[in-house]
């Protein structure tokens, strides 16, 4: 069975709107194990320069997660990260600080407000690139502007990666949007599919189901590339 990698979920308890209690985090780890996920990036919400989560608590709770993994005998590697909400304050933040990256890489996971303009997204990409980081744009299916041939343009002009959530594959978003999401996958413009899981019930981890769908519709090799785990923490 294919081992999977989830680069976007809110599993560390007590720091954002994801897991609230230790037991919630443990249940999410159980669910990840059931989905054959062997690498997780713990991407708690952060707004650099404005609203930063408590990193002391974050790493202490990540230690608890690793201890639980060992106790359960799970084959899961945890890596640090963050889902950074872009605001104009980020320019000043980057001038004086290193942003929270994904594990030991130069990748930065970015999100935007839903009504973000294309110019704002491209400006954020340019800003991140100017500091020699590689932006990953989270759940691009949430941004209306991305449904107007903008994914192709950004791919051609920038060193950027695109992530969609499992629900982009599992749920209906309307005929035109569903067709565009399918086109992104057919043209292999999507670099990652992730759970964006916040809990085990309302926003659960469904990576294995989505992997099977993507393998069948778009090819096993591509599915393994955007969801599979190499086991070394690489992105």
DSSP run (H or E) holding 43:
strand 37-46
The pLDDT tens digits along the chain (235 residues) read 899 999 999 999 999 999 999 999 999 999 999 999 999 999 999 998 777 778 899 999 999 999 999 999 999 999 999 999 999 999 999 999 999 999 999 999 999 999 999 999 999 999 999 999 999 999 999 999 999 889 999 999 999 999 999 999 999 999 999 999 999 999 999 999 999 999 999 999 999 999 999 999 999 999 999 999 988 888 9
| Region label for 231, one of left (φ > 0), alpha (ψ between -120 and 50) or beta (otherwise) | left
Burial class (CB in 10 A: 0-12, 13-18, 19+), 156: exposed
Place of tokens 């809990």: 199
Which CATH code is given to the segment(s) 4-227? Answer: 3.20.20.140
Cβ atoms of 69 and 76 within 8 Å: the answer is yes
Q: What DSSP character marks residue 13? A: T
């Amino acid at each position: 069975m294919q081992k999977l990698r989830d680069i976007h979920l809110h599993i560390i308890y007590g720091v954002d709107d994801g897991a609230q209690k230790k037991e919630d985090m443990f249940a999410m780890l159980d669910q990840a194990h059931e989905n054959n996920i062997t690498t997780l990036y713990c991407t708690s919400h952060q707004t650099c320069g404005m609203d930063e989560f408590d990193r002391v608590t974050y790493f202490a709770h990540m230690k608890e997660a690793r201890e639980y993994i060992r106790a359960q005998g799970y084959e899961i590697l945890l890596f640090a990260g963050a889902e950074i909400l872009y605001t104009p304050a980020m320019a000043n933040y980057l001038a004086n600080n290193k942003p929270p990256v994904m594990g030991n890489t130069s990748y930065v996971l970015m999100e935007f407000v839903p009504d973000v303009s294309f110019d704002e997204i491209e400006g954020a990409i340019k800003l991140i690139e100017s500091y020699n980081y590689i932006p990953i744009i989270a759940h691009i299916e949430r941004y209306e502007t991305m449904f107007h041939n903008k994914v192709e343009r950004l791919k051609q002009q920038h060193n950027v990666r695109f992530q969609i959530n499992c629900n982009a594959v599992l749920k209906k978003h309307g005929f035109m949007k569903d067709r565009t999401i399918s086109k992104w996958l057919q043209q292999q413009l999507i670099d990652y599919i992730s759970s964006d899981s916040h809990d085990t019930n309302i926003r659960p981890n469904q990576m294995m189901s989505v992997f099977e769908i993507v393998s069948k519709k778009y090819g096993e090799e591509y599915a393994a590339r955007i969801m599979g785990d190499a086991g070394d923490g690489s992105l």
